Amino acid sequence: MNTATHYRDADVLITGGLGFIGSNLAHRLVAAGARVTLVDSLIPHYGGNLRNIHGIEQQVTVNIADVRDSYSMAYLVQGRDVLFNLAGQTAHLDSMTDPFADLDIKCRAQLTILEAVRQQNPQLKIVYASTRQIYGKPEYLPVDERHLLQPTDVNGINKMAGEWYHILYQRVYGIRACALRLTNTIGPRMRVRDARQTFLGIWLRRIIDGEAIEVFGDGTQLRDFTYVDDAVEALLLAGATPAADGQVFNLGADERISLAELAALLVELAGQGQYRLVAFPPERKMIDIGDYYADDRLIRERLGWRPAVTLREGLLRTLAFYRCERGHYW
């Protein structure tokens, strides 16, 4: 499917639109000729950054609002064709230290959005960004969509609830909703000030600053990584394809790599820096999932998606972006 053609003149709403994935999606949709509205609360630490829409500021509408505000959402969903629901905070440790705030943004927020859609625009298509974190510590690899859901932290439990609210509303009310369980997504515009969004963000910052990367544990933990352009393509396909309605799909990669190998690759590509193994902080060890990589055959078969950007190429593009843009992201 040519997603660019599908979204030409479409009216698209993106919650969390000033964040990492939402802003990259906005750039792609603007290029395709869509009418794009971005909703973001710009709550500190949640990842929103106005710099993320540099170059398309005049081509999108930005609404600074909290998705938990039922009055705002009731207005914002009207007249839209597609909603990409990416709002939320991603920090695992924050969810453990402030579980009620995490509950509010991940559960109440999703119900607020879905109720607005049910009452104001029930024909709207919704694509929800879920996470591989809901699987918890894998019982087998690669992890497919049938794997038991057993999150290791509050973030994962609340994200699981948010996902299933969408599937429930599809089954009960006929809302055209689906969910993508994202793995580690990397690329330009991700948060690098700290490790709240992804550990790779702080790794990149330290490498560019000439500091050492710290790899927790023995570094043998396996992961897969999706470059943000590939994640965006999956979102667009899910939003455009009726066969996605009511479904959940894993995203994955053609490659898997240990964290120590990843750190070494990053040092090699940057041409500077170093890494060292350090003991797991107790609070992180408690929620660590060990090895994880996805079985993503379902989305490949149903939607025709497959990643196009290798890990090496994705890291090179990301390093180049932050070397130019560090003043706006550090």
pLDDT tens for each residue of 172-208: 999 999 999 999 999 999 999 876 668 899 999 999 9
Is residue 197 within 8 A of residue 20, CB to CB? The reply is yes
58 domain residue, yes or no = yes
Q: What angle separates helix 311-329 from helix 259-270, to the nearest 10 degrees? A: 70
Tell me how many domains the chain contains: 1
Which residue from 139, 326, 299, 280 is spatially nearest to 234, judged by alpha carbons? 299
149 domain residue, yes or no = yes
Q: Who's near 192: CB < 8 A, 6+ residues apart?
A: 201, 202, 204, 205, 322, 329, 330
Q: What global pTM score does this model have? A: 0.95
Highest-confidence range of 96-100, 213-217, 287-291, by mean pLDDT? 213-217
205 domain residue, yes or no = no
182 domain residue, yes or no = yes
Q: What is the mean pLDDT of residues 260-275?
A: 97
Q: At residue 19, what are phi and psi to the nearest 5 degrees?
A: -85, -170
Q: What is the mean pLDDT of residues 131-158?
A: 95
What domain range includes position 69?
3-186+225-254+294-309
CATH code for the domain of 133: 3.40.50.720
Does the pLDDT of residue 35 top 90, yes or no?
yes
Is residue 284 within 8 A of residue 290, CB to CB? The reply is no
- Specify burial of residue 50 (Cβ count, 10 A radius: 0-12, 13-18, 19+): middle
90 pLDDT band, cuts 50/70/90, is low
Is residue 317 within 8 A of residue 310, CB to CB? The reply is no
Euclidean distance between CA atoms 259 and 177, whole angstroms: 34
pLDDT for 91: 63
pLDDT for 196: 66
Average pLDDT, the chain: 94
Euclidean distance between CA atoms 30 and 16, whole angstroms: 16
248 domain residue, yes or no = yes
Euclidean distance between CA atoms 237 and 200, whole angstroms: 26
Does the pLDDT of residue 266 top 90, yes or no?
yes
147 domain residue, yes or no = yes
287 domain residue, yes or no = no
pLDDT for 284: 78
Q: What is the mean pLDDT of residues 267-291?
A: 90
- Specify burial of residue 210 (Cβ count, 10 A radius: 0-12, 13-18, 19+): exposed
pLDDT for 262: 98
211 domain residue, yes or no = no
Is residue 46 within 8 A of residue 39, CB to CB? The reply is no
pLDDT for 282: 81
